[in-house]
Amino acid sequence: MAIRKTKPTSPGRRFATYQLREQITATEPEKSLVEGIKKSGGRNSNGRITSRHRGGGAKRRYRKIDFKRTRDGIPAKVATIEYDPNRSAYIALLHYADGEKAYILAPSQIEVGNVVNSGPGSDIRPGNCLALGDMPVGTTVHNVELKAGQGGKMGRSAGTAIQLVAKEGDMVTLRLPSSEMRLVRAECRATIGSLSNSEHQNVRIGKAGRNRHKGKRPQTRGIAMNPVDHPHGGGEAHKTPGGHPVTPWGKPTLGYRTRKKGKQSDRYIVRGRRRGKKKGR
């Protein structure tokens, strides 16, 4: 995957970079697997803004992704690799032997024409899906279930790779990209391989307009406001917030822990994201 740099004909193009998307083989999605998607603009069911700085952006069509991969024993051929505006990773269109079609998250090692399978007895190859307990230690996976049959929840963004590091009884230990070590039940499924589009994180936006295309609206710094609008506002001589950073409503932010203690899932965290910290901290 390569990054394209444009000629500096304007301030925005001087710093912007774009992906060549050489892995993509189709420009139009499969009509039977596409549905409309409505934007919220950051508003809740009462019409009030609960998530600021959202709105506008280019229109999108939602591609229905098969996160469960439950069509066991039916081989599927990779027909196309496509771009999905709703996620950072690419998606692959599968044509099953019985005539069904489905989208899956595309691993980086997969190509058009490859055959993938799911269920017990599947080979340990990129794109195949089976239970974590059936995989050898050291396997790299993505789209991992947290509950059996629920569908993949972990490891779904571009370039993600989760490693299976140990198996003990009916549980397996996974090393997440954040270095967190987590226990998952062995009957939970995952797809083999790392996800595609690993260069996604290297793209530089370059100009504000590209963020507007994504539906991101401008964000005003609290320090630039008046005291009536934000706790950081005001000040004549020095433009610096006093004390700790807070939200417009006075809640601590920038490093403030938001995870609640005593969550049920804490018992499955063997080692936290920061080494040396106890689980759940």
Q: What is the pLDDT of residue 96?
A: 97
Strand order of the sheet with strand 115-116? 101-105, 91-96, 76-82, 115-116
Task: Report pTM.
Answer: 0.89
Is residue 45 situated within a structural domain?
yes
Give the tens place of pLDDT for each residue, 243-273.
Answer: 789 999 999 998 888 878 878 888 888 887 7
Is residue 237 situated within a structural domain?
no
3-class DSSP assignment, residue 12: helix
Does 118 score more than 70 pLDDT? yes
Is residue 124 situated within a structural domain?
yes
Is residue 243 situated within a structural domain?
no
CB neighbour list of residue 13: distance below 8 Å, 6 or more residues apart: 6, 7, 206, 207
Q: How many domains does the chain have?
A: 1
Is residue 233 situated within a structural domain?
no
Give the range of the structural domain holding residue 151, as residue numbers without chain letter: 3-200
Is residue 120 situated within a structural domain?
yes
pLDDT grade, residue 241 (50/70/90)? low
Give the tens place of pLDDT for each residue, 60-87.
Answer: 999 999 999 999 999 999 999 999 999 9
Q: Write the CATH number for 157.
A: 2.40.50.140
Is residue 242 situated within a structural domain?
no
Write out the two tokens for 214.
Answer: 């994504």
Is residue 255 situated within a structural domain?
no
User: Average pLDDT of the chain?
Assistant: 92
